[in-house]
Amino acid sequence: MKQSLIDKFNQRDAVIGIVGLGYVGLPLVLRFNEVGYKVIGFDIDARKTEKLNRGESYIEHITDEDVATARRSGFEAVADFERASECDALIICVPTPLGHHREPDLSFVTGTTDALIPHLRAGQVLSLESTTYPGTTEEELLPRVESAGLHVGTDFFLVYSPEREDPGNASFTTKSIPKVCGGHTAACLDVGLALYGKVIDQLVPVSSTKVAELTKLLENIHRAVNIGLVNEMKIVADRFGLDIHEVIRAAATKPFGFVPYYPGPGLGGHCIPIDPFYLTWKAREFGVHTRFIELAGEINSSMPDYVVGKVALALNEREQSIKGSRILVLGIAYKKNVDDMRESPSVILMEKLEELGAIVAYSDPHIATFPEMREHHFELDSVDLTPESIADFDCILIATDHDGFDYEMIRDHASLVVDSRGRFRESFPNLVKA
């Protein structure tokens, strides 16, 4: 069973099923399709599957032509799981958010797995790519698969291979980013490596699914902790009357022992604001208190309040209050030059400002209309930036520094600019660095 499945992957005769067609799943669809595999995409959002089947993309850095090319090569998108039995590999790429008390919410993973169970068969491999805590694959997926009468490691194979997507980064693609892979058994690992072997340039095998799960958390916790450090340093530098961005630029000239990280109004994206709390939650099961990680999380979570405070002080100096002030938030994506709003601190800033009575608007060249979100609701369209529209606001808050903004025009026509991203190197009279 194992060898025949590996042969299918090596000969590209296998059918690949990708479950979850978002920022992780859709690029993976296109990559498997590109090298010649038959691909079926699964997503419970029928609007997504309908657009894909029309050859249309809903992710900015993936073009309509990319999707249309895949369709011409046989790619199909479906909104139910009945066709999962046709697939030799099923790759789960669904969200793993936090609950209201910062506890892991695995409902998308477990719900997806439960929906797949009736359609699983011998001779398949199931790979989880969603970021999660160590033990999830063994504790949540394994018993569900075995409940279907399948024997993992002999007639069915189970792996964990975390996603490493960076939306909008043209330097690193699905193909070129090394991919970690761990199997429940040695046979599972062999099948997992064959699954990804034709689509990823470099595979990094590890000894277990738990190692692979913790590897993903370490990668993102490393970033979260260092961003927490530089965010705290920003507050210190501000008290000293110094520009933290100038300090970072100077420190980055050291050719060894220093890696530059940059402060901001908070953390965004689906991984870095969330993943540390997956580990801290699981660590408590083993009596471990991850104080260092939790402290970084607290600092990063507090940054929107710090920025709102800077806005309040800047307006106060102009004898205005936040209440009743017209504030334009520039950039609502979580990082510049993308349309990805997952966990964006810009949205938190908008909510906090609105709660204080501000009249909030936004401008983002990548997001024309504020989208439907599970927890955040604004009925707003992006404001076109002109000298007149800029001058019409009491404060311009730079929350995400897209390259598409005309910063010279903003500088020349805004009555007040609060810059939380360090976009402006030189000071000018109406600028406040936050």
Q: What length does the chain have?
A: 434
Torsion angle in degrees (nearest 10) through CA of 350, 22, 369, 166: 60
Task: Please enumerate in sequence order all residues whose Cβ is within 8 A of that of 128, keeping only pairs 6 or more positions apart, or say none.
Answer: 92, 109, 136, 137, 141, 159, 160, 161
In 288-299, which positions are buried (b, 16+ CB within 10 angstroms) versus exposed (e)?
Answer: eebeebbebbeb
Q: What is the CA radius of gyration of the chain?
A: 23
C-alpha span between 179 and 194 (Å, rounded): 12
Angle at 135 between CA 183 and CA 150, to 5 degrees: 55
Residue among 246, 244, 243 at smallest CA distance from 230: 244
Taking the CA atoms of 137, 140, 143 and 149 in sequence, report the sign of the dihedral they define: negative
C-alpha span between 61 and 185 (Å, rounded): 37
DSSP state letters, 206-218:
ES-HHHHHHHHHH
- For 146, phi then psi, to 5°, come to -65, -25
| Angle between the N-to-C axes of helices 275-284 and 291-317, in degrees from 0 to 180, rounded to the nearest 10 | 140
C-alpha span between 142 and 213 (Å, rounded): 15
- CB-based contact 400:364 (threshold 8 Å): yes
Chain center to CA of 411: 31
User: Strand 326-330 to strand 15-19: parallel, antiparallel, or no bridges (unpaired)?
Assistant: unpaired
- For 271, phi then psi, to 5°, come to -100, -60
> Is 188 assigned a catalytic role?
no
Considering the candidates 93, 181, 271, 395, report the single residue annotated as catalytic.
271
Residues taking part in catalysis: 271
